[in-house]
Amino acid sequence: MGLSKFSWVSGIAIVFLQLVTGSFGWGQHGHYVTCKIAEGYLTENAMAVVKELLPKSAEGELAAVCSWADLFAVRSHYYWSRALHFVDTPDFRCNYDYTRDCHDSSGRKNRCVTGATYNYTLQLMSACHNSASKSRYNLTEALMFLSHFVGDVHQPLHCGFLGDLGGNRIHLHWYRRKANLHHVWDTEIIDTALKRFYGSDLNIMIESMQKNITEDWSNYVESWEECDANCTVCPNPYASESVKLACKYAYRNATPGSVLGDEYFLTRLPIVERRLAQGGIRLAATLNRIFNSSCGLISNVGKGEQGVSFA
CATH code, domain carrying 197: 1.10.575.10
Reply yes or no on whether the pLDDT at 240 is more than 50.
yes
pLDDT value for 25 = 64
Which residues pair with residue 103 across a beta bridge? 109
Handedness of CA 94, 149, 77, 21 (dihedral sign): positive
Mean pLDDT throughout 208-236? 95
Q: Is residue 19 situated within a structural domain?
A: no
What residues contact residue 84 under an 8 Å CB cut-off, 6+ apart? 111, 112, 113, 115, 116, 145, 149, 310
Show the domain range for 49: 28-166+189-290
Rounded distance, CA 56 to CA 274, Å? 31
Structural domain contains residue 9? no
pLDDT for residue 114 is more than 80: yes
pLDDT for residue 156 is more than 50: yes
* Residue 255 falls inside a structural domain: yes
- pLDDT at residue 297, rounded to an integer: 86
**Distance in angstroms (rounded) separating the CA atoms of residues 282 and 220:** 12
Please report the pLDDT score of residue 69 as a whole number: 96
- Average pLDDT rounded to a whole number, residues 134-144: 91
Residue 306 has pLDDT above 60, yes or no: no
Mean per-residue pLDDT, 257-281: 98
pTM of the model: 0.89
Domain count, the chain: 1
Distance CA 87, CA 114 (A): 7
Domain assignment present for 199: yes
Q: What is the pLDDT of residue 131?
A: 78
**Which pLDDT score, from 0 to 100, does residue 299 have?**
56
How far apart CA 232 and CA 158 sit, in angstroms, is: 22
Which of 78, 37, 25 is CA-nearest to residue 61? 37
Helix (H) or strand (E) holding 173: strand 171-174
Flag whether pLDDT at 168 surpasses 80: yes
pLDDT score for 272 = 98
Question: Is 1 inside any structural domain?
Answer: no
Res. 2 pLDDT band, cuts 50 70 90: very low
Q: Is the pLDDT of residue 78 over 90?
A: yes
Residue 301 lies in a domain: no
23 in any annotated domain: no
Average pLDDT on 209-224 reads: 97
Q: What percent of the chain has pLDDT over 90?
A: 82
Q: Which residue has the higher pLDDT, 216 or 5?
A: 216
Backbone phi and psi for residue 246, each to the nearest 5 degrees, phi listed first: -60, -45
User: Average model confidence (pLDDT) for the chain?
Assistant: 89
Residue 3 counted as domain residue? no
